[in-house]
Amino acid sequence: MFHGKRIIVVMPAYNAARTLERTYREIPLDLVDEVLVTDDASSDETVAEARKLGLPTLVHEENRGYGANQKTCYSAALAAGADVVVMLHPDYQYTPRLLPAMISMLTDGPFDVVLGSRILGGAARKGGMPLYKYLANRTLTAIQNLLCDAKLSEYHSGYRAFTRPVLERLALLENSDDFVFDNQMLAQALYHDFAIGEISCPAAYFEEASSINFRRSVRYGLGVIETSLRLLAHRRGWHSSSIFAEGGRRLAVNAPTTQPVATEH
């Protein structure tokens, strides 16, 4: 518990065997009540590593995508009674040492969502982000801020924290199972007027850190612009989108329909 709130860190994993333990060891366990791993049918020893660390682990029997993995993460965290949920990639690209600051920004206010921004403070290029990705990030962010009527430094960070009401309110099951899920989730938070805060976050780019290839990056970029246009159209009443609609499908708080893996202590 931190200030009376139950804190759960979720780690959506895919072939993270080489970095999972390193990431976990830097999590401040005096502040965090539970660390959950969801594995998206990894082909390496990710599940065995999670079991070795004694972490509750949910396993997709087949690869369902990054967005689907997050849906499982958040469902499991809500079912476990989380008041605050932090998504931390197990590939060690983002430092767990920012967890205390991110958690306090939610438990003590004034934010509902906190993002670890690689752009604030110039952390992206210092950490080795390729120039083309940096330029794409800045261009897409500028377009999105214009279309979404927002002023975020970036929309593409994978380091995120949410209060429970956010995860219960957003129609997350309407979102993609692919990488654009992240962007759709932020668009939903903006639509529902949740307060979004950012914190400067160093990021490391190395062989084991997860990344998507150029072709998928292009598809992601197009999906990002589409999402922002959908938000604009929904706000203006030009076109209704299921991801913003009141009747959109939301996460259930029951245990997700995935295969649980017994842990060893």
The total number of structural domains that make up the chain: 1
Q: What share of the chain is helix, strand, coil (3-state, %, to 5)?
A: 40, 15, 45
| Domain residue limits at 161 | 7-249
C-beta separation of 47 from 236 below 8 A: no
| 259 part of a folded domain | no
What contacts 138, CB < 8 A, 6 or more positions away? 119
Specify the CATH number for the domain of residue 177. 3.90.550.10
CA 20 to chain centre: 16
Model-level pTM?
0.91
Question: Residue 264's pLDDT is what?
Answer: 38
| 256 part of a folded domain | no
| 265 part of a folded domain | no
| 190 part of a folded domain | yes
| 117 part of a folded domain | yes
| 255 part of a folded domain | no
Kindly list the averaged pLDDT for each block of 10 residues, start to end, along the chain of length 265. Answer: 93 97 97 98 97 97 97 97 97 94 94 95 79 91 97 95 98 97 98 97 69 79 96 97 95 59 40
| 261 part of a folded domain | no
| 144 part of a folded domain | yes
Question: Residue 128's pLDDT is what?
Answer: 79
